[in-house]
């Protein structure tokens, strides 16, 4: 009999013994606001739990992400869970306090319950249990609680390239997967198109040059481009949309002298950064064919340059590659084997519709990555942010088993 399978009863008993601790930890994480990448307080709560469970090293990195390490073996695995959240929006739209939350029929409703604090308790307890059961011999295993909402992949880039300067062999991303094994998603390019005009009093608008009007053909071109974008059998169809607009004007009684569109372009396999920019540039060129100045409308790739709460700054282009791990890859197969042992049946594989830190781990660094976490991404960023507490507890089994499944592969 598989020696790992022989220990399943003990694993399940230990997970069940920690049920109250895991669920309490989960609720306490959600009770700590961590919007806009302000993760110091929630990171400290994670650190407290890891120290209590005897992690070998617990600290914050230069960016302010929290790291917990077990072991010093030659094989390296990282469990990645972002512990920042989006804001709560209009408080009046919440039927309960988004941080106190509520539990109803075994479901926790709170900000961050789905996206993505729900994976953190299972990852931390799973690593501790894997160590106690001897399944981390030969491994260096990290829990990595990071900031992701503002810029996908920037925290993993810090992990690999700056602090602790560790390149893992495998990564597990804790974004919600409905307890299935996810193995990729589309990428993204963020752009802006700025039109320059000339201000005048609104009462004499013919003396001005309205920057908003210059963007109307650009908006129409983007709308008409969307249905023509290519599709991929697994990742799906690319998309493009105008996601925001900002206007510079002396007053609401004046002709705007500048207007900017922000564009979200989801890319699939076959798309590149260059091709995505070229598509929009063609629309811009057509729109300004009769413009009085060659630079009247300008396309730019956005950059992320906001310092973290520690003051650490890393400037990166807002280009996030598409990625997918083959179903036959040893990491995917080990993850599927772990679900079969943990839950009695082999999980399905799928993909996210949104973007994750996998854009760096797999898309840029080429490190094999899969996703597994409780929750359903359709509840992310909504006032129905939620997760089944039983899934939070049961996910612990998967996280504990995965290194052992990889060792056996």
Q: Annotated active-site positions, please?
A: 84, 148
Identify whether the C-beta of residue 111 lies closer than 8 Å to the C-beta of residue 99: yes
Angle between the N-to-C axes of helices 8-17 and 19-31, in degrees from 0 to 180, rounded to the nearest 10: 50
Residue 357's SS3 state is: coil
Which ranges of 226-348 would DSSP assign to H, the alpha helix?
Answer: 273-287, 330-343
Place of tokens 């906001």: 306
Identify whether the C-beta of residue 233 lies closer than 8 Å to the C-beta of residue 248: no
Which ranges of 181-234 would DSSP assign to H, the alpha helix?
Answer: 211-225
Identify whether the C-beta of residue 299 lies closer than 8 Å to the C-beta of residue 274: no
| Strand ranges (E), 1-56 | none
Beta bridge partners of 386: 109
Identify whether the C-beta of residue 271 lies closer than 8 Å to the C-beta of residue 322: yes
């Amino acid at each position: 009999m598989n020696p790992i399978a022989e220990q399943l009863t003990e694993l399940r008993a230990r997970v069940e013994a920690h049920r109250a601790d895991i669920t309490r930890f989960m609720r306490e994480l959600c009770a700590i606001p961590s919007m806009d990448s302000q993760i110091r307080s929630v990171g400290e709560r994670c650190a407290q739990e890891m120290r209590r469970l005897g992690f070998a090293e617990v600290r914050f990195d230069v960016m302010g992400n929290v790291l917990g390490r077990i072991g010093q073996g030659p094989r390296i695995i990282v469990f990645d869970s972002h512990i920042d959240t989006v804001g709560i929006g209009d408080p009046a739209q919440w039927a309960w306090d988004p941080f106190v939350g509520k539990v109803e029929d075994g479901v926790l409703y709170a900000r961050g319950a789905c996206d993505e604090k729900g994976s953190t308790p299972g990852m931390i307890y799973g690593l501790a249990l894997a160590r106690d059961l001897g399944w981390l011999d030969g491994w260096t295993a990290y829990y990595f609680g990071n900031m992701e909402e503002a810029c996908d992949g920037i925290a993993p880039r810090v992990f690999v390239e700056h602090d602790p300067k560790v390149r893992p062999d495998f990564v597990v991303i804790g974004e919600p997967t409905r307890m299935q094994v996810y193995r990729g998603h589309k990428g993204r390019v963020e752009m802006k198109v700025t039109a320059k005009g000339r201000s005048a009093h609104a009462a004499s608008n013919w003396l001005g040059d309205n920057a908003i009007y210059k963007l109307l053909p650009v908006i129409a071109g983007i709308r008409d481009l969307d249905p023509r974008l290519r599709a991929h059998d697994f990742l799906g169809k690319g998309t493009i949309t105008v996601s925001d607009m900002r206007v510079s004007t002396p007053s609401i009684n004046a002709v705007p002298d500048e207007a900017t569109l922000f564009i979200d372009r989801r890319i699939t396999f076959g798309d590149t950064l260059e091709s995505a920019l070229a598509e929009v540039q063609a629309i811009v060129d057509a729109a300004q064919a009769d413009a009085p100045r060659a630079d009247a409308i300008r396309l730019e790739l956005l950059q992320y340059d906001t310092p973290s709460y520690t003051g650490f700054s890393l400037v990166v282009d807002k280009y996030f590659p598409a990625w997918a791990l083959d179903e036959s890859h040893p990491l995917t197969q080990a993850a599927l084997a772990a679900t079969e042992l943990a839950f009695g049946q082999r999980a399905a594989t799928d993909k996210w519709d949104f973007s994750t830190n996998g854009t760096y781990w797999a898309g840029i660094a080429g490190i094999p990555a899969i996703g597994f976490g409780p929750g359903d991404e359709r509840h992310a960023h909504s006032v129905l942010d939620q997760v089944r507490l039983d899934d939070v507890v049961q996910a612990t089994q998967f996280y504990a088993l995965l290194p052992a499944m990889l060792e056996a592969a």
